[in-house]
Chains A and B, each alone.
Chain A
């Protein structure tokens, strides 16, 4: 049923209906509304889960690691500095092959302190072995949680996943979201059946010591599982579409891309503004289209190379910067298109919550077509 909900509350509802057995999180802006809502649901017995209150994010994710290893479906949520405090455990959770789902209400990294949105936080942990989904609107932000659990817990995958949605821009926005019923969610997402778990009657160990004779093989297996998850996402995403009418089988999605000469690559909520800008430019006869990346890990390089094979130029919009290099998504799109001869421009914008308007997108397209423009877009002139 379509409901007018704040993004964070819609996500909390989706998490509740995913029936996590253990929730452990530490509040941080702009993620707070999610965990406040979940704590209330547990207190009101609407959600039958253990809510573990902790002193910080490192403990929050550590609690999830223990609970997941013991065989529970687990959930956490964080952002920015909170995610960085977790970083050690983020790598461990993936290495121990624990399918924890964590919402990231994307926010910039300090210093300087910023509570506002960009994607530096989750992108900085791209190498940890977690799947990474990015939502364009609050419909996707809710639906991707069901998909994430289903894929992550599959015995052929067994890896954790971030479900990323832009802090404030989505988390604090009220908009209509078609919420599934508990019955519908149960039909799509079965109970968690761990492949193996901590059990005093049948003892095993997680996260053991690996000497050089064994360590690389663990990384190889993780990489293979992440790559395999593409097929699982396609399968589960299609099933979701058959059941509920929203098909998430594609890792990337084109918008007015079929006859486009210029392609704008986006991730997250920026995609909506870009679509509106594209409609304006199309009305003026400009052949512009969008490629949206919904799954960033595993990185859909082949899909990108295929869907962009006909365009004349590509501009990748990055809400992050690998300082001293380029935007992270831009680098990988260029890698995906290596050998195609298609020029790829990379633009870093929207950092720390700097608003991005349709007119900015139009200007970036004009610059790209002329072959001009800098990596950083829209800087205050006094620094130039």
Chain B
């Protein structure tokens, strides 16, 4: 079983990202489970969302403490929240940041930084970074196919909005693939 933890702020779409990543993974033929950290929903407050991937039915219901993957939607969280907590050796951390800062991640963990905010502004016209980061996640981990992500976005959003978000996801996907 693989586990993903998403850190963001209320309003950034972390829960939607978890949902769509799980939907895309399910399309790829694995069992997936997505759930929020049940916070008090306030815009700007730190929030978490979780995804599990497994080749058999997922029964575990606890939150995720030792993830294989972490997505950080907002690098300003890093000073307030221990976002890298528990990440497994060999794991992957994806941070949205304008500067290619060298955040201190635990040993043996791969850090990928991406300017998802600029990508989102360019593709969507709004600083909503979740879909860009989903593209980056697909490229970095291989847990979900880009085509499945596209389908999930098309299913979730009206046509025009879906197209913009798919473009954001594609730009981030290509950026991560190109850097690798």
Contact with A along B12-23 (1 / 0, CB 8 A): 000000110011
B46 contacts chain A at the CB level, 8 A cutoff: no
If A6-B19, A173-B33 touch, whether A269 touches B61 (CB-CB below 8 Å) is: yes
Is A115's CB within 8 Å of the partner chain B?
Answer: yes
Interface assignment of B58: CB less than 8 Å from any CB of chain A: yes
Q: Which residues of A contact B36 (CB under 8 A)?
A: 168, 172
Give the residue name and chain of the B residue nearest to A175 (CB). B33
A355 in the interface, Cβ–Cβ < 8 Å? yes
Contact B23 A174 (CB under 8 A): yes
Chain A CB within 8 A of B62 CB = yes
Chain B binder among A91-99, A234-242, A270-278, A294-302: A270-278
Interface residue ranges of A159-194 to B (CB < 8 Å): 168-169, 172-176
Specify which chain A residues have a CB less than 8 angstroms from the CB of B23 in the assembled complex.
4, 174
- In the complex, the answer to whether A176 meets B31 with C-beta atoms within 8 Å is yes
- Complex partner residue of A4 from B26, B35, B59, CB under 8 angstroms: B26
Name the residue of chain B whose CB is nearest to the CB of A166.
Answer: B61
Residues of A within 8 A of B34 (CB): 173-175
How far apart sit A174 and B34, CA to CA, in the bound complex (Å)? 5
18 further interface pairs, Cβ-Cβ under 8 Å (given A271-B59, A273-B62, A276-B60): A4-B22, A4-B23, A115-B40, A116-B38, A168-B35, A168-B36, A169-B35, A169-B61, A173-B33, A174-B32, A174-B34, A175-B22, A269-B61, A275-B59, A353-B38, A357-B65, A358-B60, A358-B62
A52 contacts the other chain (CB 8 A): no
Interface of chain A residues 241 through 274 with chain B (CB within 8 A): 269-273
Chain A CB within 8 A of B154 CB? no
Q: Separation in Å of the B156 CB from the closest CB of chain A?
A: 11
Q: Which residue of A lies closest to B52 (CB)?
A: A175
From residue 306 to 358 of chain A, which have CB atoms closer than 8 A to chain B?
353, 355-358
Residue of A nearest to B59 (CB): A272
Q: How many residues of B contact A (CB 8 A)?
A: 20
Number of interface residues of A (CB under 8 A): 25
Cβ–Cβ < 8 Å partners of B59 in chain A: 137, 271-273, 275-276
Task: List residues of A whose CB falls within 8 A of some B CB.
Answer: 4, 6, 115-117, 137, 168-169, 172-176, 269-273, 275-276, 353, 355-358
Q: How far does the alpha carbon of A169 sit from the alpha carbon of B65 in the complex, in Å?
A: 16
Whether B61 and A273, one on each chain, are in contact in the complex, defined by CB atoms closer than 8 angstroms, is yes
Question: What is the CB-to-nearest-CB distance from A118 to chain B, in angstroms, rounded to a whole number?
Answer: 13
| B66 → chain A closest CB, angstroms | 10
Interface 1/0 per residue, B29-53 and A, CB below 8 Å: 0011111101010000000000000
Complex: A271 Cα to B35 Cα, angstroms? 17
A4 & B63 in contact (Cβ 8 Å cutoff): no
B35 touching A355, Cβ below 8 Å? no
* Shortest beta-carbon distance from A338 to chain B in Å: 32
Interface residues of B in 39-86 (CB under 8 A from A): 40, 58-63, 65
Give the nearest-CB partner of B33 in chain A: A175
Of the A-B pairs whose beta carbons lie under 8 Å apart in the complex, a sample of 18, sorted by A's number, is A4-B26, A117-B38, A169-B61, A172-B36, A172-B38, A173-B35, A173-B61, A174-B18, A174-B32, A174-B34, A175-B31, A175-B32, A175-B34, A176-B32, A270-B61, A273-B61, A355-B62, A357-B65
